[in-house]
Structures are given as C-alpha cells and as structure tokens.
Amino acid sequence: MQTLTLEQEINPWEAQAARFDFAAQKLNLDDGLWKVLRYPARELIVHFPVSMDDGSIEVFTGYRVQHSIARGPAKGGIRYAPDVTLDEVRALASWMTWKCAVVNIPFGGAKGGVICDPKKMSIGELERMTRRYTAELIEFIGPEKDVPAPDMNTNEQVMAWIMDTYSMHMRQTVTAVVTGKPLNIGGSRGRREATGRGIGIVCDEALRYLHLQRDGCRVIIQGFGNVGSNAAKLMMDKGYKIVGIAEYDGGLYNTNGIDIHQLVEYRQRNGTVLGFKGAEAADPQELILEECEIFIPAATENVLTSRNVDRLKAKIVCEGANGPTTAVADEILADKKVFVIPDILANAGGVTASYFEWVQDRQGYFWKESVVNEQLESILAESFDDVVRYSEAHGVNNRIAAYMLAIDRVSFTIKQRGIYA
C-alpha cells in the first residue's frame, strides 16, 4: 500500500480506497469494473432551512450518497454530527455496499448525514430538521430505491419521522422506506439489539476458529451506545468477562468483570457511566490498549491508528464501529498477528436485521424474535466462514478477504447485468 500522511491516514475515504485498491488488485479486477466500483454512483448535497425554537431560521447541510445499486436498493444509515463530511459519507456508503455483499443480502450501499449538533437541539428542532431533510431526499429514497436506517445520533424516533414524512408525500403509509423503526409502525423484533448480537456471534466464531475458550474471555469495549451496550450485555450473558468500558468522557475497569445490567441501569438514571461503583475509573485512551483477549471499538472512526496501535494488547479486534482502524494500523496489526474481524463483517448484524425488517414490511407479516435471531446467527456464522476461508485461500488478512469477497460478488453482478448504453 502507498505511504499516507497522517491527514490522509485518518480520512475515511482514503482508508476505504486504500483497502479497495489493494483487494481489487489481488482479485485482478477488470480495469473498467475497478472504475465503476471505486467511486459512488450518486451524491446528493442539500442545504435546507429549519425554523428554530427561538424563531430564527437555520440552514443545515445534508448528504445522501449512493455508492452502488447493482445488487438491489441502496441501503445504509443516516448520521447526525457536527463533523460529518462528504468524504466520510462517501466512505460509509461504499462500506455499506461491501457489507451487504459480505453477508450476501440483496442491497447496494448508501449513507446519509446532516451537519448538526443534536446534543444542542431540542426535540422539536430535530423533528423539523429530519422532516425537511427527508423532503429534500424525496425522489432519491424509497423501498425499491434507497432505504435509510439509524446510524450515529439517529434512532427509532428519527426513523418514525422519516417514514411519516415520506408517507405524507406519497399519500399512503410506506413503512418499508426506512428500517430501524419502532415496533408498532413496521419495526422488526430484534433489530435494536442486532448489531450488538452480531458482534457476539462473530466473536464466538473467532474463538472457535482460534481454539480459545469463551468463559472468562476478557473483553474491552469502546463506546456504550446502541452497539456497545447491547454487545456488552449479550456477551456478558454468554459468559464473556467485560473488563473495560471506554466512553468519550471516561472509562471503567474491573478485572473481575463489570456487571453490564447494573451499568445499563446506572447510565439510564445518571446519563453517564462515570461514577459507577462496580468498577474503577480509567483513562479511556489507555483503557482501549489494556490487556484483554478481545477489543471491540464500537464508537467511531480512527480509533486505532499508527500512533497507538503498536501498544494494543488484545488478541482479537472486533470492529463494532465503521472504520475504527486506519489502513496503516491494519498493517501493524497484521505484523502483531492480531486477529481482526473487520467492520464490514463484524457490525453487519444491523443491516442484516434491517433486511429482515424490509422483507417483513413488504410482506405485511411479522416474525417472532426467535426467528429473527436464528436467521441472523446463521447468516453471520456463514459469512464469517466465507471470509476466513477466503483469507486462507488467498493468503490475505480478514479485512482484505472481506473486501475481495464483496468486490467479487458485486462485480460478478455487474458483469451479469451488463452495462446499459
């Protein structure tokens, strides 16, 4: 791989492109298909006004990028954050294409984002911003076109507003336009926990593959949002020992394991994990490098970089977040023989359950939670197997294997469909 400056190293688009180029080269990907898949197919930028609570008008910038619709409708979340950039949304959209292909579900890839600080906005402002952003995207999205879902700082309520706004424009209720909705309006049982559950499933598979024991296996998790907290809870229940939780404002450490059920309750009451009595306070930047079997970055991008990854002590890195490891850090992890479960496999449980939700909405027939969980388990276990077999067959690490598998599947589809002229 080419040498990158630190600025390039932490640019998610560069991180995506570096892995894509490497995997495409290993696959001997046809030049034309390489050009088709390297860049997103469509990018929409919108600047739209919202009435704020104090009577003023604010203009927000939003993006929706569709990387590919070759295998089906574009699919991917919408994030709200002050530092959203077009390059980030592009990278995340491409990752969705690869992720859906790795788990072999019939979707392409997309992502959206609005530059805003949701922590400083009222519920009313968030609702008006969400509805206007949806209206701006109205021709771009739809059950057969592009199906958004939650991502950083968006949730079931935001999806309900998007569904309602889209439905008002269509003059009929269209539940399948978004996934990750509340249960009552077309949501799927098990969707909320699915990303965290998927992380537990691929960790089980990794332990089996590496002949390691699950009981007492020490886990450190960065991030205690939807993904991190559900992974922690479900993994603790299976016998993993969650020794560390690192949040943006502080960390918790307990060699005997943290009681995650108590911690979830504590956080609900206090709005933070800090001050929890069942563990010691720890510096979050140091905590993520502590001794453990599994480290799960489940917060944000660029957590493991060339600056800290040489000090990482975990044997397995299971990426709950999208893009937590830079391409340069990948090479160092490979030298250290760390077993990486890459984001496009590790956190694919979310979009897999989104696929189930979309299917249920279109059928108008809703599954029991046990059916969702069983289907999820079988898809993720099979995908894990596909990735490690690919890695063995081609002598590459798991991430490059996952990219190769995904690029192979998407490019095969494009070849079969042919290029429309």
CA distance 411 to 309: 33
> 240: helix, coil or strand?
coil
Short-list 146, 338, 339, 318, CA closest to 220:
318
Short-list 264, 261, 308, 256, CA closest to 284:
308
**Chain-centre distance for alpha carbon 410:** 19
Strands 218-222, 294-297: pairing is parallel
Would you say 289 or 296 has its CB closer to ligand GLU?
A: 296
Minimum Å distance from CB 255 to ligand GLU? 32
Minimum Å distance from CB 82 to ligand GLU? 18
Environment class of 359 (CB within 10 Å of its CB; exposed 0-12, middle 13-18, buried 19+):
middle
Would you say 22 or 107 has its CB closer to ligand GLU?
A: 107
Minimum Å distance from CB 149 to ligand GLU? 3
Site of tokens 């956190």:
347
> In this structure, what token pair is assigned to residue 284?
């979050």
Distant-in-sequence, close-in-space partners of 119: CB < 8 Å, separation ≥ 6? none
The residue whose Cβ lies closest to ligand GLU is 77
Minimum Å distance from CB 347 to ligand GLU? 6
Span between the terminal Cα atoms of the chain, in Å = 35
Would you say 149 or 298 has its CB closer to ligand GLU?
A: 149
Would you say 302 or 396 has its CB closer to ligand GLU?
A: 302
Minimum Å distance from CB 162 to ligand GLU? 12
Minimum Å distance from CB 344 to ligand GLU? 9
Would you say 77 or 187 has its CB closer to ligand GLU?
A: 77
Minimum Å distance from CB 380 to ligand GLU? 13
Strands 241-247, 218-222: pairing is parallel
Q: Calculate helix-pair angle for 12-27, 398-417, nearest 10 degrees.
A: 70
Q: Angle 394-396-402 (CA atoms, 0-180°, nearest 5)?
A: 90
Minimum Å distance from CB 334 to ligand GLU? 24
Distant-in-sequence, close-in-space partners of 295: CB < 8 Å, separation ≥ 6? 219, 220, 221, 222, 288, 312, 314, 316, 317, 318
Site of tokens 């388990």:
377
Would you say 91 or 405 has its CB closer to ligand GLU?
A: 91
Active site residues: 111
Sites of contact with ligand GLU (CB under 6 A): 75-77, 149, 151, 179-180, 322, 347, 350-351, 354
Would you say 83 or 237 has its CB closer to ligand GLU?
A: 83
Q: Do 200 and 235 meet the contact criterion of CB atoms below 8 Å apart? A: yes
Render the burial of 171-210: b for 16+ CB within 10 Å, e for the rest: eeebbbbbbbbeeeebbbbbbbbbbbbbbbbbbbbbbeee
Site of tokens 């424009």:
169
Distant-in-sequence, close-in-space partners of 3: CB < 8 Å, separation ≥ 6? none
Would you say 108 or 251 has its CB closer to ligand GLU?
A: 108
